[in-house]
Chains A and B, each alone.
Chain A
Amino acid sequence: MEMHPHPFKRILFGFAFSPTLEINILETTRIAHFFNAKLILLHVGKKTEEKSGIVNALLEKIDFRDDAIEIQWEEGKPVSVILEACTKFNIDLLVLGALQHENMYQFYVGSIARNLTRKVNCSVLLLIKPSSERVPCKHIVVNGLDAPETPVAILDAFYAANAFGAQQITIVEEISQQEIHVTVEDDLSLMKANIVKERLKHREESRVRKILKSLPEAFLKNIKIKTQSIFGKRGYSIGHYAEIVRADLLVMNAPKKTGLLDRIFRHDLEYILSDLPTDLLIIRK
């Protein structure tokens, strides 16, 4: 059965009056334009003449002034206000600006952006280096984990690739070490492990091929597709890989609910959140 993406129709961006405000607005309006979506700009704080003046002045500067943009002002605690807004406005994609590296304090207590990433119930796009000029998105890396959410993540990666005009998608199959079942101790076990690895690699590749077959053909045109299997720690390897190949966007499955314990005993997404390699799109349905 052919799958179809759930399009990003309504995008929310929570903004603050920081020095990067202009760049952030330029970037998010551009993203909204690519997805052909309605953009809602939300500020947590009081609406004043001065502030709305600044925002309106900025909106005059953007490239796509005909697009639908709405500005909302709400008061309260940032995290809970944005969470509520996501449900209230029926948001498909939440865009957030994030620091690339977290220090210890931020990691355990959590910055607002990462807190939201963990709690929100729609897809999230974390931007690490918004730019006023358009930086073309050329290469997207998406996870090909053996998980029920993966086909949707891959589908959305192609959806985003088409929207951004990216030319290459690499599907990374992370295979955890435990699946090999052989500990390398000498030549014989090394040989065995390598045979098992080849087999696992083929299994993963055929699984990914199956997913690719179920995607609409129009999506696959004009995009170079590569697969790369990596044996290593899940969730970590893909981030490191995206950094090495200098990907422009990393697309990941949403994590299950995580608590403080998960941050101490890190897994999957937590690795990437602590050390964002690129812009990160987290798919959640």
Chain B
Amino acid sequence: MSLIALPLGLGLALASEAPPISGIIAAVVGGVIVSLLGGSKVTIAGPGNGLVIVLLAAIGTLGGGDLYQGYLFTLAAIVLSGVLMLLLGFLKMGRLANFFPASAIQGMLAAIGIGILAKQFHIMVGHNNETGTIIELLLTIPNDFVDLIKTADINMLFASGIGLVSLLIMVFYSKIRNKYFQLIPAPMWILILSVGLSYFYALLGKPYPMSVDYLVSIPDDVLTNLAFPDFAKIMDSEFIIAVFAITLIASIESLLSIKAVDKLDPLNRRSNVNKDLKALGLATVISGLLGGLNVVTVIARSSVNVNNGATNKSANFFHAVFLVGFVLIFQEQLRRIPLASLAAILVYTGYKLANPESFRKIIRIGKEQVLIFLTTLITTLFTNLITGIAAGILVTFIIHMIINKSISLFISNLFKPNILLFKEEDEGNFYLSIKYFCSFLNFHKLKNKLDVVPENMDLVVDFSMCNFVDHTVLEGLENYGAAFDKKGGSIELIGLDKHEADSFHPFAIRKILPVAALKPIERYFTKRQKDLEAAARDYDWKYIAKKNTNTSFLENFVFFHTREVGYFYNLLKDAKNGCSVFDLEWTEGAFIAKEVVKTTMMHIQLDIDIPVFTLDKEGLLQLIYSLAGFSAISIENHPDFNRRFNLSGENESAILKLFTDEMVLFLESHPYYHIESNGSSLLILKKERLLGVQEIKRMIYFGQQLHALVQHKKIYP
């Protein structure tokens, strides 16, 4: 681990125009404190790449040209931001990161990546003294190559050579599949090779063609040459803005990383985010006081940590200890590291952040996400991070209002509670229903509820009363789904089928259709529909999403005597055995009292005739059945069955023949389903709502067994 932390620590400090050693201090302090006090298990703490741009700006503006003085002022800002993070931790504000739209965060990360890349590219090709805004830096990159051709400066040529070779190593490292080569991470290879090169020159007795300007500078005695913060500018507005910017980015980067690393944890533990924030805050305060950079949780190093088999906090601790040892023992060698090779490592990191692939992903989700992403990206590049993210939030909100053609949907419902979570008493699974709208603005409310559901339980999330769902929420739910999957539970989204979407992507914004009937359902594929399709493939059944109004086969079921069948959709059909499962829309009552209900049902066409009966537990439908001329039937010697179920029908003797001991035992030992027969087919339903895919699979299993039993076949073939 220390092998990666060392070059990255040095590089990130350099990229922020701070002394290289400050990055190492942050990594050491972070490693020790966070491992002792933090709440997460496998994360690594240290200086973070997201902060580079903020720190760079802070050092530049606060110092007013004098980089070292700027660095001292920035240290003070770092200390205060640490105090703020500590406060956030104590106030349990670990959920703050959820207030930002996902695409805006993507845009911000891309901007940070471009910022790092723009600056470091110059250093990589031997131009150490380029300054200017990010845009200017980007535009002058071609000039560097023109320079390289014209120049006679051997130092510059040599540096650029090392830089480009280093970049190639970074790019092709993952392509080389060699066990021994992969033992040492790419950044360390770069350091070893470039430092080795300088020794090679010494061996040949030739002067090393790089002056001190092109090499890393480290104070002679690290321990006595620590820098201390200067609090002189504490009341300046620039200073205060810097503090807030640092805190904001440090918290977001840490929180996002912790969430991402939790997904990698082999033991599936949940990190205590607030405890982590507190530890990071304290570590930042100490690091700042000793002249180090901010301490944040870092995803890249943490994931390497997990890949190397880490399962507890000791990795973080020892990475810090080794780092100290490394710096103290190899001081002489560290001074031989060329800046260009560190810059190459950073150029690659920057490129990864601003990866065109992530942009392509956003395009697939929807046009409006591109607008949010680009607004954040461009605003950040031209102004600063805080303005950038604020612009991103504003644009997201405006887009949401335009899509819904309504401001009041958001304004009047923002502060109302809109989420109901309860454990369904008979089934033991959790049910969560969302009203009004669900977007990044109130996602924290949903998260609060999701967090209290144990991940090994089944959870059904119902959006049928929710008018609008945005990308941030759907992506967040997907992440929760992954966590549930790992621990043996599941999350299923229902009620999204009627929402309109702009693209086929599962995370696309969805809004409820005003005139739902006008558009074909199958155009807006939901995750549930995709899963249904996959399930159909598993069973070798047919899946048809299309609406179908040919519902005559349902009419002679008593259940529909007082209910009007609309249409069915999302049909799963087993042509061989006459089984089918579908979502049915039906209405009850008339005029104003009319209610539209959607229910998932299973229908089984039988080869033989059986008596007409209904088997019902709730007792709710008794009234209708007595109207239909049915009478309650009790089965001898099965008092338990009689108490739990209401069996009714006309032809009592035929029904009693059908309900053999075997049948009664089967029904008693399986979960409850409402079952009806119309003489030639069976209708099975669970609840008066749509079912999740897992619930459907259970229903199919039940239905198939019942089918076999009714046809007098064996239950287990």
Contact surface of A with B, Cβ cutoff 8 Å: 103-104, 129, 131, 133, 135-136, 138-139, 167-168, 183-187, 189-191, 193-194, 224, 226-233, 236-237, 240-241, 243-244, 246, 266, 271, 274-275
Contact = CB atoms under 8 A, between A and B. Distances in A.
Nearest to B92: A183
B589 interface: yes
B425 interface: yes
Which 7 pairs of residues, A with B, have the shortest CB-CB distance?
A240-B420, A186-B272, A185-B272, A236-B417, A230-B422, A135-B593, A129-B592
Given A135-B593, A224-B618, A266-B416, 14 more contacts: A131-B589, A133-B591, A135-B589, A185-B39, A186-B271, A190-B454, A224-B619, A228-B425, A230-B422, A233-B417, A237-B422, A241-B420, A271-B417, A274-B416
B425 A167 contact: no
- Looking at chain B, what size class is its interface with the partner chain? 35 or more
B618 A168 contact: yes
Nearest to B420: A240
Given A167-B619, A185-B273, A186-B271, A228 B39 contact: no
A192 to B, nearest CB: 11
Contacts of A185: 39, 92, 94, 272-275
Contacts of A183: 92
B595 interface: yes
Interface string B89-102: 00010100000000
B233 interface: no
Given A129-B592, A240-B433, A186 B420 contact: no
A232 B417 contact: yes
Interface in B570-604: 589-593, 595, 597
- Greatest chain A CB density within 10 A among B92, B270, B433, B590 is at B270
A231 B274 CA distance: 23
Contacts of B275: 185-186
Contacts of B563: none
B451 interface: yes
B480 to A, nearest CB: 14
Contact of A271 (B416, B422, B688): B416
Given A133-B590, A240-B420, A246-B597, A168 B620 contact: yes
Interface string B594-635: 010100000000000000000000111011000000000000
13 contacts: A129-B593, A133-B593, A135-B589, A135-B593, A167-B622, A168-B618, A168-B619, A190-B454, A229-B422, A230-B420, A231-B452, A236-B417, A240-B420
Contacts of B274: 185
A275 B623 CA distance: 31
A139 to B, nearest CB: 8
A249 B595 CA distance: 15
Contacts of B270: 186-187, 190
Contacts of A243: 435, 465
A190 to B, nearest CB: 6
A183 B39 CA distance: 14
B667 interface: no
Contacts of B592: 129, 131
A138 B412 CA distance: 32
A271 B413 CA distance: 11
Contacts of B593: 129, 131, 133, 135
A113 to B, nearest CB: 17
B361 interface: no
B713 interface: no
Contact of B412 (A104, A224, A233, A271): A104
Contacts of A230: 420-422
A167 B420 contact: no
A156 B452 CA distance: 34
Contacts of A184: 451-452
Nearest to A236: B417
Nearest to A223: B619
Interface string B384-425: 000000000000000000000000100010001101111101
A274 to B, nearest CB: 8
B595 A227 contact: no
A212 to B, nearest CB: 16
Nearest to A198: B423
Contacts of A138: 620
A190 B455 CA distance: 10
Interface string B266-288: 00011111110000000000000
A246 B465 CA distance: 12
Contacts of A189: 272
A186 B622 CA distance: 47
A199 B422 CA distance: 15
A227 B425 contact: yes
Contacts of B462: 244
Nearest to B618: A224
A232 B272 CA distance: 22
B452 A228 contact: no
Given A138-B620, A240-B433, A243-B465, A226 B421 contact: no
Given A133-B590, A138-B620, A224-B619, A187 B269 contact: yes
B380 to A, nearest CB: 32
Given A186-B39, A232-B417, A167 B623 contact: yes
A246 B425 contact: no
A138 to B, nearest CB: 7
Contact of B595 (A229, A244, A246): A246
By CB atoms of chain A within 10 A, which of B412, B423, B452 has the most? B452
B272 A244 contact: no
Interface in B439-456: 451-452, 454
Contacts of A136: 623
B93 to A, nearest CB: 12
A226 B425 CA distance: 9
B454 A244 contact: no
A179 to B, nearest CB: 13
A126 B584 CA distance: 32
B417 A103 contact: no
B711 to A, nearest CB: 33
A138 B621 CA distance: 10
Contacts of A246: 595, 597, 688
A137 to B, nearest CB: 11
Interface in B248-274: 269-274
Nearest to B451: A184
Contact of A231 (B421, B620, B622): B421
A133 B588 CA distance: 13
